[in-house]
Amino acid sequence: MKEETPGRLLDRYLKGECTPEEQRRLEQWLDERSAAGTHNMATFNREEVQQRLKAKIDRQLEARPLVYMLRAFRIAAAVIVILLGTFIIFKNTETGNTIYATTRAGRGQRLRLTLSDGSVVTLNAGTSLRYPRVFKGNSRKVTLQEGEAFFEIQPRERCPFIVGTANTATTVLGTAFNVQAYAAAKEVKVTVVSGKVAVKESHGSETMVVLPDEQAALSPAGIDKKQVSAADNTGWLQGKLQFRNESLEKVALILENNYDVTITFSKEATRHIRFTATFSTDDPLDKILFAITKANKLNYSMKDKIISL
C-alpha cells in the first residue's frame, strides 16, 4: 500500500477521492505548512493545481451544501497561501554565473529560509530578500530589498557574510542579528543579539562595530549607535508587536504589513506622535487602534481596509 504523502493526498482531494479522514489530515498538513512558512511545493505543478482547485470549488458550489463549500474554501485558502509563498513570490534571476532568488513574505506572513551555507533567515511581514541560490567565491552577500529580517549566520573563516540594503552594508563572520530597512521609514537599524557585526554606509568609509544589545541606526543625518534590548527589537520573532517610543508613522507601517491594511493620517502632526506599547500579532487590529487613539486623544475611521487616523 502506497504511503499517503501530502502530495498524494492533495492529488486525491483534487480528484474528489479523499475520505473524510484523509481530508482532515490534508487540512492539518496545509495549516501547519502555511503557519510555519516552511512549505515545499516543488513537486507540484502550480498551474495544474490552480486550475484543478478552481474546477473543484466550482463543482462544490454547484452541488454541495454550505458545510462542504466551507471546507473546500479552507483547503483552497491554505493551498493559495503556499502557492503565493513559494512560486509567485519566489523568482530566480541570473547574473554572470550566479543564480539569484528573490523571496518575499507577503503582508501578514513570516517566512523562514535556509540558505545554501546553512545560515537561517526569518523574514518579517512585507519583507523582500535577494540572495544567491548557491554562495560562490570568498564572500556571501544577500540584499534586504525591503522590510525586516533576522539572520542566524553560520561562521565561515575568511568568507564573511554581508547583508546589503539600499544604504548600508553589514558584514559578519558568525552571529545573530536583526536588520530593519523599511523604505518608508528612511532609516536602517541593525541590532545584534550575539557575536558582532561591522556596519557602514554603502558609499561611505566610516565603519561601526556593533556588539550584543547594541543597535546601529543609519538615517539621512548619519550613522549612530546606542545600547538597546535586543529582545525588545526582535520580539516579532515570537509574534509580538513591540513599540518603544516609535512615531505613529512607523507604527502604521508595521501594522500595515501585519494586518494587510492601509493607514492614512488626516494631520501631518499625527505622524510624529510617539507611542510605546506591546501587543501580540494575534490581537485584533481594532484593539490596537483603540489603544493608540485612546492614549493620544485621537479618533480613527475604517472603511474596507483603509484606516484614517
At 95 the pLDDT is 54
Q: What is the mean pLDDT of residues 58-77?
A: 44
* CA distances, 125 to each of 86, 104, 136, 215 (Å): 15, 8, 29, 21
The answer on pLDDT for 39 being more than 60 is no
How does DSSP assign the chain, residue by residue? -----HHHHHHHHHTT---HHHHHHHHHHHHHHHHHT----TTS-HHHHHHHHHHHHHHHHHHS-HHHHHHHHHHHHHHHHHHIIIIIS-EEEEETTEEEEEEEEPTT--EEEE-TTS-EEEEPTTEEEEEESS--TT-EEEEEEEEEEEEEPPP-TT--EEEE-SSEEEEESS-EEEEEE-GGGT-EEEEEEES-EEEEETT---EEEE-TTEEEEEETTEEEEEE--HHHHTGGGGTEEEEEEEEHHHHHHHHHHHHT-EEE-SSGGGGG-EEEEEEETTS-HHHHHHHHHHHHT---EEETTEEE-
The more confidently predicted of residues 15 and 33 is 15
At 137 the pLDDT is 84
Give φ, ψ of 78 to 5 degrees.
-65, -45
Model pTM greater than 0.85?
no
The model's confidence at residue 41, banded by pLDDT at 50, 70 and 90, is very low
The model's confidence at residue 71, banded by pLDDT at 50, 70 and 90, is very low
Give the whole-number percent of the chain exceeding pLDDT 90. 16
At 37 the pLDDT is 45
At 214 the pLDDT is 93
The more confidently predicted of residues 108 and 36 is 108
The model's confidence at residue 143, banded by pLDDT at 50, 70 and 90, is very high
The model's confidence at residue 61, banded by pLDDT at 50, 70 and 90, is very low
Q: What is the mean pLDDT of residues 38-48?
A: 44
- Average pLDDT taken over every residue of the chain: 76
Q: What is the mean pLDDT of residues 264-272?
A: 88
The answer on pLDDT for 90 being more than 90 is no
The answer on pLDDT for 298 being more than 60 is yes
The model's confidence at residue 60, banded by pLDDT at 50, 70 and 90, is very low
The answer on pLDDT for 89 being more than 50 is no
At 123 the pLDDT is 92
Q: What is the mean pLDDT of residues 86-111?
A: 68
At 56 the pLDDT is 46
The more confidently predicted of residues 57 and 147 is 147
Q: What is the mean pLDDT of residues 133-148?
A: 90
Q: Which of 81-95, 98-112, 292-306 has the lowest mean pLDDT?
A: 81-95
pLDDT tens digits along 181-205: 988 778 889 999 999 899 888 776 6
